[in-house]
Each structure stands twice: as C-alpha cells, then as structure tokens.
Amino acid sequence: MTRIGFVGLGTIGRPMAARLAVPFDLRVHDVVPVELDGAVTVDSVADVADADVLCVMVRDDDQVRSVAAEVRASGHAPVLVVHSTVSPETPAALADLGLRVLDAPVSGGPMGAADGSLAIMVGGDEADVAVARPALEAMGSLVVHAGPLGAGTRMKLARNLIHFVAFTAVTEAQRLAEASGLDLRALGEVVRHTDAITGGPGAIMHRATTAALDPDDFWWGVFDHVRALGEKDLSFAIELAATLDVDVPLAELSRADLAKGLGL
C-alpha cells in the first residue's frame, strides 16, 4: 500500500487529506493537531517524511520552505507534492535542496476538495508524477501534467488571473446594476446560471496559441461573432454607465482590447 503523508489540514487541506484516508496508508500533520478518520496523526514533519508521497497544503512560501527543510533534514526522499500556491521561483528552489518535487496547486475550493472534484495542475518529472498520480486522482477529477517543474504553478497563476480579474469585473457590473435600480442577488443568480451553461470566461479557451488568426481559420468566424457581440454590448453598457455617472474602466479596456485579444 502506498504510504502518503499530508502536511497542512486547513480549510482545503483537511478535505483533501480525507479523500486519501481509505485507499492509502495515511499519516497527517498540522501545527494544530487534528484528528482525521482513517489517518494517523503525528507530531512532526519528520514523522511523515518517510512516505512515498508527501502532500503539502500550507499557507505560504515560508511554510512550504520550512516543511521542505524538515524533509531534507530527515534524510528521507518522498515525492514532495506542493499543493500550496507559491511563487514561480519556489518549486525550483526546493528542487535545488536535492528534493524530488512536484508543484501541484489546485483549483475548486473547499467544495471541490470535499467531493474529490478538484482540478490539479502538476509540474515536474514524469516519473515522479507517475508515483503521485494515484493520490492526485483520489483528490481531483482533473489531473493535468502541465509540464516540467514550475509549470503547475504558472498554470495556476494564469487560471487565477482570470478568477480575480473577473471578480473585479463583477464589482464593476454590480455598481452599474445598483445604479440602475436592479436586484444584485438576482443578477448573481443569472450570472451563475448562465456561466454553468456556457462555461463562463473559459468558453473561448480552445486555441493552442494566442497568435493572430488567419481569416481562413475556423475560429476566425467564431471569434469575429464574439467580437461583434462583445463590442456592441460593451458599448451599450459604457453608455449606460455614463448616464448614471458610474466609472467602468474595465469595460472600456475590454472594448478596446477584445478584438486583439481574440486574435482578430
């Protein structure tokens, strides 16, 4: 049976570790001792370092580096799987310590962690990915080997750029809706409902490149239609905002950059 260690039993780490408790020999550690059904709780990182795979879901780069230093001091050589979202430089720095490292940040939040539907973006050596894959697939329904060490982190940062820029766009839309006398909760229901159908911002992410499109390319017609609709609706929204004295800089930037961004 594969031995799994898990360090960091917070809001996302605990339900992730719980997905590993039945199929694996699991030991867990957190600075605040937490009991987990099906797992053995231990007192230190050294007590989980002799695992085949050691998953780390702690708060920040400093804590990740601290865990890595304790693993190195233990003399053991697990595949160290860093689920925390860290600086792009951190995975390589950990590998420079002589550790076998995968950077494998996750997307899907506590809900995805609880039901095993996380997306896990993995960077690192193929052989190490193969060792960790059974554990990864127990925690996530989509496991993507993004490339060499560091690629998982870069993919997560690109994914979260969409996430938080979209959040900022939502706040802009809420100001416009509020000034228009609309029910913001009802608008939120509409957004969540339609994004579940269309795929939200990810609906346009089908090409393998951001290069300019050839007019004979299939996607030219698709994206030109998106551009036409987008520029029209953004123009209407910007005009409405002007009449209501609402500042919508993201809408203005989007209207200016939409065509170029789509490759047109």
- The C-alpha atoms of residue 17 and residue 6 are separated, in whole angstroms, by 7
- Burial category of 232 from C-beta neighbours within 10 Å (exposed 0-12, middle 13-18, buried 19 and up): exposed
Q: Give DSSP secondary structure letters for 174-221.
A: HHHHHHTT--HHHHHHHHHHHHHHH-GGGGGTT-S--SPPPTTSHHHH
Please tell me whether residue 75 adopts helix, strand or coil conformation: coil
Best CA proximity match to 231, nearest among 260, 194, 258, 199: 258
Is 156 catalytic? The answer is yes
Closest CA to 199 of 220, 226, 172, 174: 226
212, 263 contact by CB (below 8 A): yes
Nearest residue to 17 (alpha-carbon basis) of 35, 43, 44: 35
* Secondary structure of residue 3 in the 3-state scheme: strand
d(CA 150, CA 122): 8
Catalytic residue among 29, 145, 156, 255: 156
| Residue 136 φ/ψ, nearest 5 degrees | -60, -40
The Cα 92–Cα 84 span in angstroms is: 14
What residues are labeled active site? Answer: 156
